[in-house]
Amino acid sequence: MAPIKIKSALISVFHKDGIAPIARKLNDLGVQIISTGGTQNYLENQAGVPVTSVESLTNYPSILDGRVKTLHPMVFGGLLARREEGHLMELAEYKIPEIDLVIVDLYPFEKTVAQTDDESTIIEKIDIGGISLIRAAAKNYKDVMIVPSMENYDFLLGILEDKNGFTDIEDRKKLSGVGLYV
């Protein structure tokens, strides 16, 4: 398989440490960055990087106190579509953009449980969207790179700098976790 150029990235992280240099490098490479609420504000205001909001992509607001943001066919279609004729034709038909890179981490559920016994606080830290994004990108690792933790930021930044925004199958497979099983 030929290397794939990252053209679009979805970034939605709880922990913002270390994400600014990656977003700046993606921007320098001409990558469209799509993001959600707090991450979007951070990238625009702290990192100085232009961002497309998920809401403008989906034409749907974040609803239910932020419980539903990325769970939408405009996002998951772009992640799960194989880069083959039939899927690409469907993406074009429904005007769904391809998403080549996902950078996401999960809410700190274990930390929350250790700090409180308030059930409503604990329940809100059960991450649905984040884990769904990770699983979708991992399922489609042949076409999409998933960066599921800030521990992977140095690896990603190295790829962006050394390979000029291209990823190869081994890079994508490594971060997806699929390589552990296949």
So what's the pLDDT on residue 116?
75
Distance separating alpha carbons of residues 109 and 107, to the nearest angstrom: 6
Has residue 181 got a pLDDT over 60? no
So what's the pLDDT on residue 111?
66
pLDDT in tens, 64-99: 877 787 888 999 999 999 999 999 999 999 999 999
Q: What would the mean pLDDT of 98-122 be, rounded to a whole number?
A: 79
So what's the pLDDT on residue 182?
46
So what's the pLDDT on residue 93?
97
Q: What would the mean pLDDT of 9-28 be, rounded to a whole number?
A: 95
- Selected residue with higher pLDDT from 15 and 111: 15
Pick the CATH number of 4-180 from 1.10.10.10, 3.30.56.10, 3.40.50.1380, 3.40.50.720: 3.40.50.1380
pLDDT in tens, 129-173: 888 999 999 999 999 999 999 999 999 999 999 999 999 999 999
